Structure 1
Amino acid sequence: MKFYYDLHIHSDLSPCGSSDMTPNNIVNMSYIKGLNIISVTDHNTARNLPPVVMLGERAGIKVVPGIEVTTKEEVHVLCYFRNLIDALQFGDIIYSSLPDMVNNPIIFGEQNIYNELDEKTGSLGKLLLNAVSLSIGEVHSMAVSHNGIMVPAHINKKSNSILGVLGFIPKNLCIDLVEIYDKTAIDEKYVEGLRILRNSDAHQLVDISEAKNFFELDDIENIYDYMNI
């Protein structure tokens, strides 16, 4: 069966996310667009995952808990988890690894936490766009120890990608799944033998993927096995 996905979506908790990227709006737009599997991957935090997971269950959409981490090398990586508790614990460690630089909402944008009714319940003080103090290798090991995986994000972008920053994918990371940004070309040699995700990296509702990228699975719950989580 084909299950359509978008595994790179930002909520209003990411300072670069639009104010209309609330849990209900994200899930409802994903439903309208015919998506079966989504992931909200905010920058360096997982605090908006609980309402998204809850609302996804109600709408019949599988929500894979996720987070986008900026490593010490300024590389963006997507970390996905089998369950919400592991994602939240991982997210707390990531957030604590950020420098103590306070966010300025006027300059960078608000960092709002929501409940399942789209009510603001709080905000995060540290600027989420900064790099954490953990290396890409440390983030990878920590994701695995929390029953998750690490996927290099938009590897063919010039900025904040593993190829743009390091110029290669370290073999010791044992990476077999990467994300490609569709609007930029990539030399096929960099993805030979790798499995590919194609996500929206949506920061506003209109950018959430249409039902075009899909997984061939016998059952939607097999997404975790497919991703080797």
Structure 2
Amino acid sequence: MKFYYDLHIHSALSPCADNEMTPNNIVNMAVLKGLDVISITDHNSAKNVEVIYELSKSKGIKLIPGIEVQTKEEVHILCYFFDIFDCISFGKIIYDSLECIKNNKSIFGEQLIMDEDDNIIAEEEKLLLTSCGFSIDDIFKMIDGKGAAVPAHVDRTSYSIISNLGFIPNISNLKTVEVSYDFSIVGNTSEYQKKYKIISSSDAHRLGDINERIHYIECNDFESIVEWLCS
């Protein structure tokens, strides 16, 4: 089966995302775009994942629980989980490892935690746009057996594993990389395409940026998607 996806979407919890990235707006836009599966991957926190997970089920959209981690090396890694509770627990570990720097809303934007009716129930005060206390190797070890870790936007010149390290390290459970919009990767494109699976998600911070029905993963069923990403 072909599952049309966008596995890199930020909610209004991410300070760099528009406040219009509410649970209902995201899910409804995914429906309008004809997507089968999405993932909410906020920066260093999973506090909006559960509510969007429940809304997605009600609209016939599958949601893979996720989080975008910024490692010690300032590399962004997308972490996807088989189980939502593993995602939430992992999110707490990542969050607790962040330095206690207060968010400056006028500079970075608001960090909104919402309910199923898009009401703001809390505002995250700790700045989420910082590096956590774990390295790239740590993240891949922590997620092994629980899900898949995917280096984000490896074609970009900042916060990517290639731009920051100059290469993709040889990690046993690193099987997939994400590119921003197409299948061109910095460096030797054919080399990376031969070695890794490639996904292309939107990194949407605005509703209109969410993927159209273009990119798909071919699996037997929805439950196999995270397995596909890490195998």
Distance change (3 Å), C-alpha of 1:220 and 1:86: same
1:17 match = 17
Aligned residue type for 1:82? F
**Structure 2 residue 148 is matched with structure 1 residue 149:** yes
2:47 match = 47
Worse overlay, 190-199 or 73-82: 190-199
Worse overlay, 136-145 or 83-92: 136-145
State whether residues 157 and 184 of structure 1, in contact with CA within 8 Å, keep that contact through their aligned partners in structure 2: no
**Structure 2 residue 130 is matched with structure 1 residue 130:** yes
Distance 2:5 2:101 in 1: 34
1:193 match = 195
Total equivalences in the alignment: 228
Q: Look up the SS of the partner of 2:140 in the other structure.
A: helix
1:74 match = 74
Distance 1:183 1:211 in 2: 14
**TM-score computed with the length of structure 1 as normaliser:** 0.95
Unaligned runs of 5+ in 2: none
Distance 1:173 1:202 in 2: 29
Aligned residue type for 1:208? I
Q: Look up the SS of the partner of 2:39 in the other structure.
A: strand
Q: Look up the SS of the partner of 1:172 in the other structure.
A: coil
1:34 match = 34
State whether residues 137 and 173 of structure 1, in contact with CA within 8 Å, keep that contact through their aligned partners in structure 2: no
Distance change (3 Å), C-alpha of 1:219 and 1:173: closer
After superposition, residues 98-117 of structure 1 pair within 5 angstroms as: 98-117=98-117
2:211 match = 209
Aligned residue type for 1:62? K
Distance 2:126 2:48 in 1: 15
Distance 2:193 2:228 in 1: 18
Distance 1:190 1:218 in 2: 25
Among the aligned pairs, what percent are the same residue?
48
1:172 match = 171
How big is each residue's C-alpha offset from its partner over 1:117-172, in whole Å with a ceiling of 9 and x where there is no partner? 11111021111001112111111111226x12210000111100000000111113
Unaligned runs of 5+ in 1: none
- Cα drift, residue 225 of structure 1: 2.7
RMSD of Structure 2 on Structure 1 (CA): 1.4
**TM-score computed with the length of structure 2 as normaliser:** 0.95
1:163 match = 162
Distance 2:228 2:192 in 1: 21
